[in-house]
Amino acid sequence: MSKRVLVTGGSGFIGSALCLRLVAEGWTVFNLDALTYAAAPASLAALEGDDRYALIHADIRDGEAVKAAFEKARPDAVMHLAAESHVDRSITGAGIFVDTNVIGTFTLLEAARAWRDGLSGEAADAFRFLHVSTDEVFGSLGAEGLFSEDTAYDPSSPYSSSKAASDHLARAWGRTYGLNVLVSNCSNNYGPRQFPEKLIPLMILNALAGKDLPVYGDGSNVRDWLFVEDHARALQDIVERGRPGETYCIGGNAERNNLDVVHAICDIVDDRRPTGTARRELIRFVTDRPGHDARYAIDSSKLQRELGWTPSLDFETGLAGTIDWYLANEDWWRPIQEGVYRQERLGLPA
Ligand code: NAD
């Protein structure tokens, strides 16, 4: 099905993978993005000049600009990814997370409702709003069990609590105003074009440069890793065929603790760029993140059962491909390193 879609946050990590995928699928994509520090316009260079893609440089908190974006895009669907997304930054400065993730989502929902209200019956019924969220809203798991669509919310960080609030707003706009809202809660993503403050690209680039590899606490925290292009495919499946009013959990069936992830990165970087000294020797255990959730893991059987989605890559293959992408794309990450982000420690309370 060919669609016109308004993607928010399309210049970020997951949003850019999504825009690239949807244009390749023949959709017309309008990317509403404020181009914050986390945006990497270079990620979408392949779409420059493509008449199925346009950037709308605007802030989701700006109601007038968002209204104008709807008028320009005339979307059949909204896929809402714009957010402040880094837990460590939310610990040092929570205000922008509340502003963007909560107020911004509210502003977008109101604009979507007004847009839907102006559509004729059939188009209004077909209109979809996909709110893209995280498994971090569920808090922390013990050694056993998995998060599912029925898990109670219990967020730990300013980031995850702001996402939890936005999930509640999105569902409420469905129940109260009849907006065709879908919510997805996904586990940790990795892959090409991820901003180098996040664990996997930070470790790859530090390992390459022979810098310390800072591991929080004892490295035992477990995440369920999903390749970003598998996430983008799940989002397309949900917006096309998911049932309005429903939530879908998305995960990679790839639980790994942080220390194992860092070891795997060290070993692959040693293989690709040997120096004679094992990169594992660069590992340093540093003060843990306050409120650091012990374990996340996702049961995505609903998505598999209803929409036939499964992850396409195992973690080791995806990780090796990701490392090879960073090795081949220094012109993507070097300007970011030399500009806004210098790998400083973030996320200790001010
Ligand atoms: P990111 O930080 O890489 O990108 C966020 C994008 O949103 C950037 O391009 C930024 O410029 C834009 N943005 C920020 N504030 C904005 C505003 N006020 N108005 C318009 N645009 C704004 O984030 P990501 O990792 O790609 O995550 C995208 C979404 O997916 C987020 O909603 C996040 O909560 C969710 N998510 C992320 C993960 C993950 O592992 N990265 C996992 C599950 C869910």
Ligand 1 atom closest to 194 (CA): 3
Find out whether the beta carbon of 299 lies less than 6 Å from any atom of ligand 1.
no
- Residue 9 in contact with ligand 1 by CB distance below 6 A: yes
Cα-based distances in Å from 22 to 71, 124, 186, 253, 343: 20, 22, 19, 25, 32
| Predicted pLDDT at 55 | 98
In a domain, 243, yes or no: yes
Q: Would 340 be classed as within a structural domain?
A: no
Regions in the chain scoring below 50 on pLDDT? none
Residue 50 falls inside a structural domain: yes
- Residue 277: the pLDDT is 94
233 domain residue, yes or no: yes
Residue pair 55/33 in contact by the 8 Å Cβ criterion:
yes
* DSSP per position, 26-91: T-EEEEEE---TT--GGGGGGGTT-TTEEEEE--TT-HHHHHHHHHHH--SEEEE--S---HHHHH
What integer pLDDT is reported at residue 338 of this predicted model? Answer: 86
CATH of the domain at 67: 3.40.50.720
Is residue 122 one of the residues assigned to a domain?
Answer: yes
Q: Using one digit for the tens of pLDDT, what is the confidence trace for 199-235?
A: 999 999 999 999 999 999 999 999 999 999 999 999 9
Residues 244-274 pLDDT 10s: 999 999 999 999 999 999 999 999 999 999 9
Q: How many domains does the chain have?
A: 1
Could you tell me if residue 69 is inside a domain?
Answer: yes
Decide if 47 is inside a domain. Answer: yes
Catalytic residue numbers? 135-136, 159
pLDDT score, position 274:
97
CA of 73 to the centre of ligand 1 (A): 20
pLDDT for 120 equals 94
> 3 CA to middle of ligand 1, Å?
22
Residue 59 CB–ligand 1 contact under 6 Å: yes
Domain for residue 164, yes or no? yes
* pLDDT value at residue 175: 98
Q: For 122-185, give the secondary structure using H, E and C.
A: HHHHHCEEEEEEEHHHHCCCCCCCCECCCCCCCCCCHHHHHHHHHHHHHHHHHHHHCCCEEEEE
Q: What domain range includes position 113?
A: 4-195+225-255+292-315
